[in-house]
Each structure stands twice: as structure tokens, then as C-alpha cells.
Amino acid sequence: MPKKEKPFSKKETPSQKKEIPHKENHPPIKDSEKEFLAFIKEAGLVWGPSPEIYGGFAGFYTYGPLGKLLKNKVENSIRRVFSSQGMREIEGPTILPDTVWKASGHLETFSDRIIKCSKCKAAFRADKLIEETRDVPADSFSDKKILEFIEKNKITCPSCKCALEKNIEQQSLMMKTQVAGEDASLRPETATGTYLPFPRFLTYFRKKLPFGVFQIGKAYRNEISPRQHVLRGREFTQAEGQIFLDPKTKNSWEKYEAIKKELLPFWDYKSQEKNSVVKPISLEQALKKKFINSQAYGWCIYLAYIQFVNFGIPKEKIKLRQHHPDEKAFYAEDAWDIEVQLDNYGWFEMCGVHDRTDYDLKQHSKFSGEKLEAQRENGEKFTPHVLEIAFGSDRPTYA
């Protein structure tokens, strides 16, 4: 990205010292939730599940005139932040052949754990069922631990209140289709489609790294039991930025210097295990404590965090939660989520920041037969690393 881009001005920085409770016993408040959903329908914000005249299709919604205006504001705000840092916007296809998804790993690994009701056979995402009913982070739980927790805490089927089955299954989140007889899938993220034109990017950016690219567009996931309105739909809008860089420059990131003293509400996975209170620390301290793995990655976390401050969300309702090693996505060396505290649903993931290393470019190079490499000034060739800032626009719009 161009060196001339300036970091945020001092008045835009989000320093804070207030400690944040790591969680609250804050299950969905049914009456207030119903009132809120009724309000957003009547106000022309969001309608659905759509199509309403046919009874509705779970996980799909229509933004009304006011809702679309608000969603546009959210997306344009994200667009401005990415663009202000020299990143360029592209638009890729929403359907890609399954050879792409095999290379990325999605066909084999992009799935959720489900548990079914022993009576009505309704299916639920096992870890989220624990989180929604007991407010306990369960992404890192093993299958055995999930079943033990459900039995110990007497968690039953949300639909009919009967006992749940004592086994867990895997369900793919990919939405399948065929194009001219060839197997294909609707994209579950915009990221993969952003990596495929890498040779074109390299030419466009005159073979100089780092550079950034982003996409704002629809993505699709076959969610097991979409609930919580637009917060967990089967069709949603993503706004994901990808920064391609030389791994040797990760700890000599120019823009880091201007923001390294800023305090952010880091909640590392070890603190989560101890149920510790979130204590804001500086990016510089987070790097020394090895909460984050590089200056460049810390800058990405800051860029994502300041976006939610700019949305007008109170700082005490924002925290940064590190993924447990057992929870991290298959492509991530490190992963942090930005979570926002919602009135009806407690702490909720809004954005993910990932160090994807060279995984994606190497995989697509292997499967396509094309070399996805860059070259240093000394002539040495290498596979760039990717840092990702993955927003969605539906959740911030709701928040």
C-alpha cells in the first residue's frame, strides 16, 4: 500500500482505560426481542424471513427502504476506511467451481457440529446452543465435552423441550449447485475469490508489495438452524479486506509506529480460560506478551477496531477476543474477533482478523498449476502472506 497514506489522526484514536467484564449472564430477552423485531418490520428496516407471502424461508431477509439506507451507510463507512489505507475494491463471482473450494479446503473442512432433538429431530449447532443458553464460549470444546456439558446442565431442545440425542454430527456449510453439468458452490466468503486474481493484482500494483484489495458482496452458508434474525442468516453481505505482504516485513510495518501506544481491549485465550476481566493494554504490550504475532497484524486489528468506534458503538461494549488454538480456522496462524455487546444477545462476533500466512496462495498454486509468487529486489522469489480483515455489514447494521 502507498507509503504516503497517513495513519489516523490523534482525535480518531481509541485509547481507553476502563476494564470490561468478559461476559454476562445475558440470554435472549424474548419480550424485548419480539418488540424490537416488530419495530424494525413496521419501520421498513428489515422484513422476513422472505418471502413472507409464501411463509418465509429461514435465513433470508429483505431490507426495506430505511434498512437499505442504513446498510449502505455501514458499507460505505467500511469502504472509506479500506480505501483511505490505499486498498482497492474489486468484485468477483458469487459461484465458483468446486475445484476452487477443494483447493481452499472448504469442501472437506467447512462444516459445523450439529446435535438433534431425540423427539422432533430439529437440528442445532452444538456449540452455539451452549453459548445461547448458558453464555459459555464453546467453540473450542471437543465433541465429548459438548455432550458432557449438555447433560450436566440439562440443556434441552429449544423447540419442544425434549432431550437431545447423545451424538454429534458434521454438516457442511457449503451451498451446492451445478453449472453446465459441473459441480459448483455458492461462495461462503468473499476472501477466496479475492486470492484467485493474484497475478493480475501483481501487474496492477507494479509488482510492489504490500498492497491491499477488498470485496463487498453476498456470501452464502447452509446454516444449521438460522436464528437471531440477520445476525445469523444463510445469505449475508461480507466486506473483507486482504493485505498481501512479504512475511519479512511483518515486523517493520511503518503504520504501526503511530498507533502502538493505543489501548485496546484484548482478551487472549488464556485469560478466557481463567474467566479474567478484560484489561485494555497497548498494541506494543500485546506484541511483547505475544498476544499478537506481528506489527502488521496488530495494525490490522487496530484498523478493524477503530471502525466500530467510528460506527458510534460505545467502547465499553467492544472487546477483542482471541481464538483458542482448538477453535482457529484451518487457514489461520492467529485469529481475533471483534465482539460487540448487544441488548438482546449479549456479546456477539462482528468482525474477524486473521493471519492466513501463505496458505491460500500456495493451495491455489498447487491445484491450478500457476505460480502465485512475488519477487524481492534481490531477485529472490517467495509466496506472499495474507492478512485479512473480515467484516460483514448485516451485523453492524443490526448493532
pLDDT per residue as tens, the chain (399 positions)? 444 444 344 344 444 455 554 444 334 445 788 899 999 999 999 999 999 999 999 999 999 999 999 999 999 999 999 999 999 999 999 999 999 999 999 998 889 899 999 999 989 989 989 988 887 878 778 899 999 999 999 999 998 999 999 999 998 999 999 999 999 999 999 999 999 999 999 999 999 999 999 999 999 999 988 878 999 999 999 999 999 999 999 999 999 999 999 999 999 999 998 888 898 999 999 999 999 999 999 999 999 999 999 999 999 999 999 999 888 877 789 999 999 999 888 899 999 999 999 999 999 999 999 999 999 999 999 999 999 999 999 999 998
pLDDT of res. 276: 87
Helix H or strand E segment including 245: strand 235-245
In 3D space, the residue among 310, 88, 78, 122 whose CA is nearest the CA of residue 226 turns out to be: 122
Report how far residue 60's alpha carbon sits from residue 71's, in angstroms, rounded to the nearest whole number: 16
**Claim to verify: residue 296 and residue 196 sit in the same structural domain:** yes
pLDDT of res. 6: 42
pLDDT of res. 7: 39
Residue 36 falls inside a structural domain: no
Residue 330 falls inside a structural domain: yes
Residue 27 falls inside a structural domain: no
**Polymer length in residues for the chain:** 399
Residue 10 falls inside a structural domain: no
CATH of the domain at 253: 3.30.930.10
Domain boundary residue among 149, 172, 195? 172
Domain boundary residue among 172, 195, 219? 172
Contact assessment for residue 347 and residue 23, using Cβ atoms and an 8 Å cutoff: yes
Whether the ω angle into residue 210 lies within 30 degrees of 0, i.e. cis, is yes
Report how far residue 178's alpha carbon sits from residue 199's, in angstroms, rounded to the nearest whole number: 27
Report how far residue 329's alpha carbon sits from residue 359's, in angstroms, rounded to the nearest whole number: 12
**Bridge partner list, 115:** 124
**Claim to verify: residue 200 and residue 278 sit in the same structural domain:** yes
Report how far residue 81's alpha carbon sits from residue 63's, in angstroms, rounded to the nearest whole number: 24
Residue 1 falls inside a structural domain: no
pLDDT of res. 19: 56
Domain boundary residue among 172, 206, 222? 172
Instruction: Give the burial class of 156: count Cβ atoms within 10 A of its Cβ; 0-12 exposed, 13-18 middle, 19 or more buried.
Output: middle
Helix H or strand E segment including 381: strand 381-382
Domain span at residue 133?
112-172
DSSP assignment of 35-49 equals: HHHHHHHHTTSEE-S
pLDDT of res. 18: 54
pLDDT of res. 3: 43
**Bridge partner list, 2:** none
Largest CA distance in the chain: 67
Distances (CA, A) of 42 to 39, 48, 228: 5, 12, 18
**Claim to verify: residue 206 and residue 322 sit in the same structural domain:** yes
Per the structure, the count of domains in the chain is: 2
Residue 280 falls inside a structural domain: yes
**Claim to verify: residue 118 and residue 93 sit in the same structural domain:** no
pTM over 0.75: yes
Indicate the DSSP class of residue 50: S
Report how far residue 394's alpha carbon sits from residue 399's, in angstroms, rounded to the nearest whole number: 9
Report how far residue 135's alpha carbon sits from residue 304's, in angstroms, rounded to the nearest whole number: 25
**Claim to verify: residue 137 and residue 271 sit in the same structural domain:** no
